[in-house]
A and B are shown apart, each in its own frame.
Chain A
Amino acid sequence: MSAPFPFRSLTFSLRRAWYRRHCDGAMAAYLDASPPAARADVKKLELLALDLETTGLDPGTDRIVSIGFVEIDGRRICGDRARHVLLNIDGTVDQSATIHRITDTDLRGAVSERDALDTVLTHLQGHVLLVHHAPMDFGFLNAACRRHYNVPLLARTVDTLALARQLQERGSKRSQEGSLRLHALRSTFGLPRYAAHNALSDAVATAELYLALLPRWAGDDALPLRSILT
């Protein structure tokens, strides 16, 4: 982004303060916690790698059916801080079940969208949100947050797709169609193929891709968060 750092930072704080006055519950607690500083070295920050499965591509009409996330502490993915949650969605469960291989057994563990969002917000406190192809997932999260808390989601966000694209474009050639898909990128950076496919798998896949991108982006140097924010 071209906006100078103080201006951007100020806007972020002002927006947080504004939204804080218009919400409650888990969103209020989330907005009360201090966000990661834009000047901080990302290698020392905590991130929440997150992925969603949805019933379609339109955040207005489609719904989130599952959320997976795992925390990253600096340069380490913390396997003991992984969550996977299925969401109860009225009416559309049948269709989504076939798409996402969600079985009846799984559905017994499903929670309401509000509970799922509460959990995400609790774990997102003080964390950088890490997603692959942010506009998509962010659109769904924003829409859900507006429904439940009357405010959109405001988070420091890093997008591995955007990072990878910039890296590839640095190397002169424009990125090839399809080469920026999560699994294509993973194989480009020597990461293993994953057979399983659910929101948590993809969150972990995104987290690993992020760790692989970091040294290519900055080597051993400190990397201020603002330089990779989406």
Chain B
Amino acid sequence: MSSREIEPIEITEIADFLGATAPFDGLDESTVRTAARTVDITYEPSGTVVLALGDATDTLYLVRSGAVELHDASDTLIARLGEHEFFGYPSLLTDAPARRRVTAIEDTLIYHLPASLFDRLRADHDRFDQFFARAHADRIHDAVQESRANVPLTTPLRDVISRRPVQTAPDTSIRDAAAIMQEHRVSSLLITDNSQLVGLVTDRDLRNRVLAAGVAPTEPVSAVMTDEPWTINSDARAFEAMLTMSRRNIHHLPVVDHDGVVGMVTTTDLIRQQVDSPVYLVGEVWKQEDLDGLIEVSRRVPDMLRQVVDAGARADDAARMVTAVTDALTERLIELAIDRLGAPPAAFAWVALGSQARHEQTAHSDQDNALVLGNDAAQGDDAYFKEMAEFVCDGLNACGYEYCPGEVMATTHRWRQPLSEWKRTFRGWIEEPRPKSLMHATIFFDMRHIAGNSALTAELQSFVLDRTARNTIFLASLAATALDNEPPLGFFRRFVLERHGGEKDTLDLKLNGVVPIVDLARIHALGHGVPAVNTLERFQQLARAGHMNAGDAADLRDAHEFIASVRLRHQVDQIRQGREPDNFVAPDSLSGFERRHLKDAFKIVSQMQKALSQRYQTSFIS
């Protein structure tokens, strides 16, 4: 006989918590209170699977307290979420079953928001809608381990080649060779001698070099094959194979690894993987006959970067693509310089230093380069190379790769020396290291051959590695300089919290993010004579050779990839807004997800820095 109906009311705790959670914090109070009235609560003890792969879900999940982990189908950790963070929205957005397994890793209180509420708020509030659309895109993007499958162009070649290599011996007759090709329905045949690749025959060769040339089909195939064909390593990415083929004007590229030939890629194999890509840009670079043309092409680099990032490329791959274009521009400028100046009077090697050497360029990279000349270069030859350096460096600057502020360029006399001088310079850095001078020299320890006589570069590199490995004093000095760049402690409200307690309103993703990891990789690589220059490859080789704990190496690789991906997205956002890309982000522009993972990444870097510091007792040095 209730004379007064008592209406349901929202639970204050739910309303307050929602109101303090993005994107609900942007909604008006009455909307939040109405929303709170629809929320259910469950408690998930640590270890409970909250959401299994393939579960249909009609709920948006919000972590009220505790923590959960998201794993994909291959059991790879995708994210760890805490208070105020959501999951389940990808299924709501795409109307597909759960693609992540969600497990409570602490005792966790979860708020369930019904799909009907989610849909209504998205329809009524643009900001709310954008928040989840963006978060969804981010989480796809940050599913670091699975992105490769979505980006065919960055697929390692070993995953592109599907069949075993079709091969025969050099003394096979041309007719038999053709029969093998017919039987396997392939357009090319590898010629191997004791599993060593010695040549390649294609359909076109059979036409041009056999039929048209009137060669008897009984002749050995070695008579008409292409000797020592270009090859590519199975670790290389699909787009690198395309670059090589377009550069060499060939259509078949044998894929090799340390055991020999493992397969073949053809332009047709790759053509279906092509999107608007760096391959195209590099092809354009090679077609240009003057600087103006190169400038024109280089203007399209930011747009290419934006496209590959939007297509879901990993930061690592995006950086490789940008670097591939820089390499091509540099090479083409050197060719144009030689066209203009005549043949070089002595052997030379143009080397890239720093981020270009490491294949780690972004939309905002300076140029760093040097010239190594043959020891037989005469005094008078320098004038030629000075002019070449000026032409190339001016050209790069005009193409958007600004002059190095520290003048680490081939135009600087000190950085344009015969090999013997270079060895003397490096010996000085390595054998009598002074932290101050080393700080400016670290860039020279990331070196990669670009053009000219590669033997010069190779000799210098092995000279350096021979001397740095296990040279404790040098490594300790290098470590001391590297530890100057510390990652921040984390974030507090809209500030970056530094280790000494200071607060800054922007985060330098380069200096305090990427650089400390690059430094760690360099020191360990030099210390163990590991020849790789790319940071991720350095960690990989260090771990493979047992010089570094595999878990540590994997953690650092992930930290690097994550920080680099945040930087990349920041730069792409700037490009999209028509602004000049830079390395500075405001903490309040980062999502909770980014802040949390950045903090984790910083922690990893900081721990590895501490280990390095203890190992080399750096406190005694500087």
CB-CB contacts below 8 Å: A193-230 with B: 194-196, 198, 200-201, 204, 207-208, 211-212, 214-216
Let me know if B38 and A80 touch, CB within 8 A. yes
Let me know if A76 and B65 touch, CB within 8 A. no
In the assembled complex, how far is the CB of residue B62 from the closest CB belonging to chain A, in whole angstroms?
12
- Check if B379 is an interface residue, CB within 8 A of chain A: no
In the bound complex, CA of A85 to CA of B4 (Å): 11
- Check if B586 is an interface residue, CB within 8 A of chain A: no
Residue from the list B2, B14, B42 in contact with A211, Cβ < 8 A: B42
In the bound complex, CA of A80 to CA of B33 (Å): 11
In the bound complex, CA of A195 to CA of B518 (Å): 46
Interface size on A, residues (CB 8 A): 38
Say which one of A115-123, A134-142, A150-158 lies at the interface with B: A115-123
Let me know if A111 and B8 touch, CB within 8 A. no
Let me know if B37 and A79 touch, CB within 8 A. yes
Most buried by B among A76, A81, A190, A194: A190
Complex contacts, B109 vs chain A, CB 8 Å: 191-192, 208
- Check if A189 is an interface residue, CB within 8 A of chain B: yes
- Check if B13 is an interface residue, CB within 8 A of chain A: yes
In the bound complex, CA of A111 to CA of B64 (Å): 33
Most buried by B among A77, A119, A194, A198: A77
Please give me the residue from chain B that is nearest to A207 by CB atom: B41
- Check if B235 is an interface residue, CB within 8 A of chain A: no
Given A190-B65, A190-B106, A190-B107: A75 in contact with B14 (beta carbons within 8 A): no
Let me know if A82 and B8 touch, CB within 8 A. yes
Let me know if B13 and A76 touch, CB within 8 A. no
Q: Mark interface residues in B469-480 (1 if CB within 8 Å of A CB, else 0).
A: 000000000000
Complex contacts, A208 vs chain B, CB 8 Å: 41, 43, 109
Interface size on B, residues (CB 8 A): 30
A-B contact count (CB 8 A): 93
Let me know if A82 and B10 touch, CB within 8 A. yes
Residue from the list B1, B10, B16, B42 in contact with A77, Cβ < 8 A: B42
In the assembled complex, how far is the CB of residue A45 from the closest CB belonging to chain B, in whole angstroms?
16
Residue from the list B2, B9, B107 in contact with A212, Cβ < 8 A: B107
Let me know if B9 and A82 touch, CB within 8 A. yes
Residue from the list A25, A83, A196, A214 in contact with B8, Cβ < 8 A: A83
- Check if A70 is an interface residue, CB within 8 A of chain B: yes
Q: Mark interface residues in B14-42 (1 if CB within 8 Å of A CB, else 0).
A: 10100000000000000000001111111
- Check if A26 is an interface residue, CB within 8 A of chain B: yes
Let me know if A82 and B64 touch, CB within 8 A. no
In the assembled complex, how far is the CB of residue B126 from the closest CB belonging to chain A, in whole angstroms?
26
In the bound complex, CA of A42 to CA of B36 (Å): 26
- Check if A78 is an interface residue, CB within 8 A of chain B: yes
Let me know if A191 and B65 touch, CB within 8 A. yes
Q: Which residues of B contact A (CB under 8 A)?
A: 1-4, 6-14, 16, 36-43, 45, 64-66, 106-107, 109, 112
19 extra A-B contacts, CB within 8 A, seeds A83-B7, A200-B11: A25-B1, A26-B1, A75-B43, A78-B40, A79-B14, A79-B41, A80-B38, A81-B8, A115-B6, A118-B2, A119-B2, A119-B6, A189-B107, A190-B107, A191-B107, A201-B11, A201-B12, A212-B43, A215-B43
Q: Which residues of A contact B (CB under 8 A)?
A: 25-26, 70, 75-85, 111, 115-116, 118-119, 122, 189-192, 194-196, 198, 200-201, 204, 207-208, 211-212, 214-216
